[in-house]
Chains A and B, each alone.
Chain A
Amino acid sequence: MAVEPGVREGDNLVRVLAQRVLPILAVLAATVALMYPVALWLGLPLARLRMENLANWITTTTAAHPLSEAPSAGSVGAPAGTRLTFGAFDEIIDDAGATVRGGASRDVERLMLVRGGEPVAADFSVDDEGLVLESAVEGALLTWGQQLEGPLDDGHVFRFADPNDVGAPIYLNGRLLEAGAVDSVERADGASATFTFPLGNGPVIVAGEVVVEGAGFEASGAGVVLDRAPPFNASVRRMTGDYAVLDAAAGTIALAEPSPTAPRAATDVLALAELLVGPVDGNNRVFYLQHTPLVENDPARRLMLDGRELSATAERPQERVDGERASFTFAGERGVVTLNGAEVTEGRDFTRQGNVITFRQPPVRNAQLRQYQDYLVSDPASGAVTLAVAPQPGERLWAASYTYYDRPACGATELECFFSMPQHPMPFPHWIAQRIGPFLTAYPFADSRNVVRATIYTAGGTLLALLLGGLVGVLLAVVFVAVRPAERALLPWVIASQTVPIIALVPVLLLLLGNVGVTVQTSLVPATLIGAYIAFFPVAVGTVTGLRSVDPLALDLMKSYAASPLEVFWKVRFPAAVPFFFTSLKLGTAAALVGALVAETESNNRYGLGYAIVGQVQAGNVSDVWILLIISALLGIGLVALVGGAQRAFAPWERR
């Protein structure tokens, strides 16, 4: 009886879905689910590295903390018992005891009052909110300086008349304004408008311009989306304090909260400063800064001994260290002497006469010899500072300002750092999914960077490759079957051709094409040729098999009909080979796509998918690379399905 082709009885849509689609979806879901732990497994070590790298830490410059409330006008001095509060007081007592060395606790031994760069002699006690004077302070607590000019816009931007005053404490309505801004985690690439910041919720400063939420950006999760993408490499900061410096040279600042009245600067104001920790006994030369690790090349670092600022200038000797000389001349007559970064001791290692020092043993040739005038940061990690001269009892060593690494910019935990990474080695699938829309529509269709256009272009190259490869494969197969000696002569070469790695072949081909005047950067020719080079082989092999697959009885039958050889070919051998041809062409399709992609990659063909992949890999846009991977896979599936469709059209007799 005849077997009815097509859908079996009892099949309905639900059953087809359950039996065919669900298993595929289940595997897809499992794969997608598996990508999450893999993403964490690959990403967390990188997040840890990111977190541990000091280069990725937020640096904070701490300075003497001025009074947070301006005293009422005309008040001169403060009697014992006065309560004083200072800006950023939390920061002072923040890590009390944690990094403190030399037995100092979070009190008078770590803190001192200063004014105008001079210590102020006063006793005080410290509690959680501030300090209470135990002896009177003489003189004005605050001397007013200039009023800032402005507002220069709707209330955010003001200007110091004298740009040199930038950094001086400023007060608005008697209250101290704290400065603060952090850089964005992402660099401005000229296209992206989304930025994240480790902290802060104030306005954003883009290349020196204030952008306010709702009128220039929208907050989005941990980040902000600017209305306009900032130009390439523009500085993008977010305000964390009351104000931020816009342009130090121009003297402009921006307030977080708009104000109709200008803030006023103070010239001399009572401030609370950090003492360096260490015994002041006339012998000890090593002291510790309280916030660590230190930023080594820190232009803001100002260490004071009473009213004198210490210099960290490094002097070079006037003579070359040639391995024989033992005496060297420096500009200064004192300082910390180091040889290859390690301190050498006067008396033990060298003797000093004026500005000439003489080593007992000549230093080795080309050793780095330096003399640091007043001090040297001997261990940035622990905040250790070595002084040239030990302070005498009664002298006070304090920090007017210095910069330290505060905390990782990416977050407090590895997981936070993982989630704030701009690129992941393996993005979470839903991040990839979120990128699909923006990535596909990033450029208009007419632009060669448009991904859909690139996909169509590569598909065209692959189809041309299939056409050419299929033609060559069929011709070869016909020749092989018709002329046995041709097969014996050519087959080894055909097989050898497939052992040549295309990655090595493509550059040669590109050179040749370039020399015959083909613009490989825009032409379909390289993709077509390379794709065809790969695709013709399975087609030839499959078609030869097909032409030889004919049932001997079928040939006998043709003989009994007295058919001519040409009729035998067209009516028997050729149709018998058609299914084999298409099946091998399907194999060739996937290979041709690979060939086309490789050709586009190596020829920098800027219209194709291969070029897009390389471009996104180089740009480090991992999600986009994944999207391109998926597009390539879908393209492969689609092209194979297309060939399958052609097979159904040209070989309708095949049993399915």
Chain B
Amino acid sequence: MSTPPIIEVAGVGKRFVVGKAEAVALQDADLTIHDGQFVSLIGPSGCGKTTLMRLIADLIEPTEGSISVAGKTPRQARQDREYGYVFQAPALYEWRSVLANVMLPLEIMGVPKAERKERAVRLLDMVGLESFHRSYPWQLSGGMQQRVSIARALAMEPKILLMDEPFGALDEITRETMNFELLRLWQETKKTVVFVTHSIAEAVFLSSHIVVMTARPGRIREVIEVDLPYPRDAETRESERFFELTTRVREALRIGQAAANSQSAGGATSSRAVTESAAD
């Protein structure tokens, strides 16, 4: 990759205090994401995907290690609105119409009213919701709500789009449609996307790079580069290379999980796991 790094994660760990015990959510994470990449985080539940995203977004602070986002501390990056965040749930504000939801971040940024509206309308057009400006969130289907959520994240015109399982709650057909649309959006806007998913196929189809993570404790196991050419379409899913890559990701997940299980057998989330050596 010739582009400069935009997110750098170095030796980052995160522990949560649960009652008297400590849970290790993430350990020794090192990751560099370059500008314009589409990076998927994949791994079983509890592998720290979401934790890593929230650390990058400065919604939580790391216990150890350092993170840099767009060359700044995460806090500075958040205050400069360098990223847009899309949650697993649409998290729309139910008292605002679709248009007003998209305009909300712009209101907070202090964008003039006319421009707010112009930008929101443009983004809603882009996600195919041009006829639903006045609808309230409960009047939309799950997929449409998630599209509003993406439009809202894009409204701030961030350099980075953080997407935490945005299509996790959708059915398979809607999900595939959304995948196409997301790819199209990414190619149009040339943003850096960090994308959390449970689905191997989705990760391979969308990403330029796949970060495979393992659980207990959460670690980055491997970064796989996906060399499928863009633009990708339905045929991409049927290509041989696609199957090879999915198999490789599946293997990496399986081996990583087996190693993690053998290491922590008997003590699920013990803090002692911190001292275990990396499986790489």
A-side residues, CB < 8 A to B, are 1-3, 5, 551, 553-554, 556-563, 567, 571-572, 575-576, 578, 651-653, 655
Contacts and interface: CB of A to CB of B under 8 A. Distances in A.
Contacts of B109: 561
21 contacts: A2-B135, A3-B138, A553-B89, A554-B93, A556-B54, A556-B87, A556-B91, A557-B85, A557-B87, A557-B91, A559-B58, A560-B78, A561-B156, A562-B78, A562-B79, A571-B93, A578-B95, A652-B136, A653-B95, A653-B138, A655-B138
A560 B93 contact: no
B141 interface: yes
B79 A653 contact: no
Contacts of B84: 560
Nearest to A579: B95
Contacts of A2: 132, 135, 139-141, 144
Nearest to A1: B141
B157 to A, nearest CB: 13
A551 B149 CA distance: 15
Interface stretch (B100-108, B165-173, B239-247): B100-108
Contact of A560 (B85, B89, B138): B85
Nearest to B144: A2
Nearest to A564: B108
B85 A556 contact: yes
B59 A560 contact: yes
A559 B78 contact: yes
A559 to B, nearest CB: 6
Given A553-B87, A575-B96, A576-B95, 5 more contacts: A2-B135, A2-B139, A561-B105, A571-B93, A575-B93
Nearest 5 CB-CB pairs, A to B?
A: A553-B91, A575-B95, A560-B85, A653-B136, A562-B79
B256 to A, nearest CB: 29
B115 interface: no
Contacts of B79: 562
A383 to B, nearest CB: 87
A655 to B, nearest CB: 5
A645 to B, nearest CB: 18
A43 B87 CA distance: 69
A551 B91 contact: yes
Interface string B188-224: 0000000000000000000000000000000000000
B79 to A, nearest CB: 5
A563 B108 contact: yes
Nearest to A551: B91
A320 to B, nearest CB: 92
B38 interface: no
A571 B78 contact: no
Contacts of A651: 95
B104 A571 contact: yes
B81 interface: yes
B55 interface: no
Contacts of B105: 561
A5 B139 contact: yes
A578 B94 CA distance: 12
Interface string B45-84: 0000000001001110000000000000000001101011
B173 to A, nearest CB: 13
A3 B138 CA distance: 8
Contact of A559 (B59, B93, B96, B156): B59
B88 to A, nearest CB: 8
Given A562-B81, A655-B138, A567 B108 contact: yes
A350 to B, nearest CB: 101
Nearest to A560: B85
Contacts of A560: 57, 59, 78, 83-85
Contacts of B136: 652-653
B97 to A, nearest CB: 8
B152 to A, nearest CB: 8
Interface string B223-267: 000000000000000000000000000000000000000000000
Nearest to A553: B91
A556 B87 CA distance: 10
Nearest to A650: B95
A572 B59 contact: no
B103 to A, nearest CB: 11
A603 B2 CA distance: 85
B158 to A, nearest CB: 10
A578 B95 CA distance: 9
Nearest to A574: B95
Contacts of B135: 2
Given A556-B59, A575-B95, A562 B139 contact: no
B96 A653 contact: yes
Nearest to A2: B139
B144 to A, nearest CB: 8
A575 B85 CA distance: 22
Nearest to B109: A561
A120 B57 CA distance: 129
B136 to A, nearest CB: 5
A563 B83 CA distance: 14
B93 A561 contact: no
Nearest to B78: A562
A648 to B, nearest CB: 13
Nearest to B88: A553
B108 A561 contact: yes
B139 A3 contact: yes
Contact of A572 (B89, B93, B97): B93
